Amino acid sequence: MFKRFLHHFKTLFIYICYLLFRMLPIQKNLILFESVQDCSDNSWAMYKFLQKRNPAYRFVWLCHSTETRQKHIAEERTRFIYHHFGFHSLADCMALARAGNIFYTHGITRLFKRRKGQNMVNLWHGIALKAPKGVNKPPKHEFNAVLCLSEENRQNQARFIKCDERLILPLGYPRNDLLLNNNACGKSNPFAPKDFQGKVIIWMPTFRASVLQVISETTCDTDTGLPLLNTLESISFFNDFLIQTHVFCIIKIHPLQSQKEVFKQQFSNLLFLTNDQLEQKGLQVYEMLGHSDALLTDYSSVFFDYYILDKPIGFILSDMEEYRKSRGEFVVSDPLSVMAGRHIYSEADLKEFVKDVAEERDNEAQMRHATAQRMILHRDANSCERIAQYCKL
């Protein structure tokens, strides 16, 4: 009883302080960022762009991990503040109340309201394809803009977020600037074997069983966390096929995917890649993704961004019905109509796709071009510039 009273008292105290901070002038040169995972995705790309744009800008990151500050403490003109949806400090209240511009990818908090004179831009984290679920349900919006990739996407995005279509702007995603300008990786994929001369395929599955039970798709779970290749034995056989075709496959584990023993296994032509491994090299996933010859995915929105590269895409759809039953109906009424690539339902289909990539056959190119024309308005590396101009930065 006392703990509950104390919690409510702290919440009320913090909220009163926030209201008082709102009486102070907005600091136009103070820019606030948030992302999930910390310091990543669209927010990180936008942050790095603005760091170079004007030395007068000052930055605040709201971080969900206390370890983040230590990882990025050397970042210039930047303060890192611990922030959690269930916990607020005077520091994050002050920053939220006074920042001239606020950029985020998921949701700041329901406690705070956008002030007149503040730009609050929801950079988002991918075109809406899957139905919202659990903590992934769109938060109450206080933004004056949310990003998308095309005019066609506006209607679906508005229905998903439940907001006025006029608030949704097809300016592009900042992370796609990294996809196209991936000089941080050098001239080849940093996770492929040294001097590897074959093709590199990146497999980016969405999570099935999740570390967050409320959003877990347990009906679609396998021993490997992957569709189609359900066992360690099938992974080993797939590695043998990759050797034969001279292809290296990087399986990027979704941050929300529950851990599997197979992720610790080592293979000659296949790598399970985690966020920690990317961080150790100081890379964002989209920088690494740019150094690939083809993409394997399923219901993850990454394929929309990958259209910009105009490279082959394979969609592993072997568990589509089970996934639909667990997750709910897709936001897009006919998801297959926007999946412009090879539709893969069996191991034989998967091997055929890999072999075609190895031998540079791109049978779906015409279909991919037509879909990309509809779904991607800007196929360039200028998304950050367009957003900065919108915010008058």
Q: Are 213 and 255 in contact (CB under 8 A)?
A: no
Condensed to tens digits (0 to 9), the pLDDT of residues 20-61 reads 999 999 999 999 999 988 899 999 999 999 999 999 999 999
Mean local confidence (pLDDT), 91-99: 92
Domains 12-172+381-390 and 179-375 fall in the same CATH topology: yes
The three-state secondary structure class of 63 is: strand
Taking CA 211 as the corner, what is the angle to CA 214 and CA 192, rounded to the nearest 5 degrees? 140
Provide the residue ranges of all domains of the chain, joining segments of one domain with +: 12-172+381-390, 179-375
Q: Are 58 and 99 in contact (CB under 8 A)?
A: no
Mean local confidence (pLDDT), 90-118: 87
Options 3.30.200.20, 3.40.50.970, 3.40.50.11820, 3.30.1110.20; CATH for 12-172+381-390 is 3.40.50.11820
For the chain, helix, strand, coil in percent to 5 are 40, 15, 45
Q: Could you tell me if residue 300 is left (phi over 0), alpha (psi between -120 and 50 degrees) or otherwise beta?
A: beta
Give residue 328's pLDDT. Answer: 62
Give residue 211's pLDDT. Answer: 46
CA 285: distance to chain centroid? Answer: 9
Predicted TM-score of the model (pTM): 0.89
Containing H/E element for 368?
A: helix 365-375
Angle between helices 41-53 and 383-390 (to 10 degrees): 70
Residues of the chain above pLDDT 90, percent: 49
Indicate the pairing of strand 58-63 with strand 247-252. unpaired
**Residue 54, Cβ neighbours under 10 Å: how many?**
11
Q: Are 189 and 285 in contact (CB under 8 A)?
A: no
Give residue 77's pLDDT. Answer: 93
The number of residues in the chain equals 393
Q: Which residue has the higher pLDDT, 330 or 100?
A: 100
Q: Are 72 and 80 in contact (CB under 8 A)?
A: yes
Give the C-alpha separation, 348 to 344, whole Å: 9
Taking CA 298 as the corner, what is the angle to CA 318 and CA 64, rounded to the nearest 5 degrees? 130
The listed range with the strongest mean pLDDT (70-74, 140-144, 225-229, 321-325) is: 225-229
Domain 179-375, architecture per CATH: 3-Layer(aba) Sandwich (3.40)
**Structure-token pair, residue 55:** 């030395």
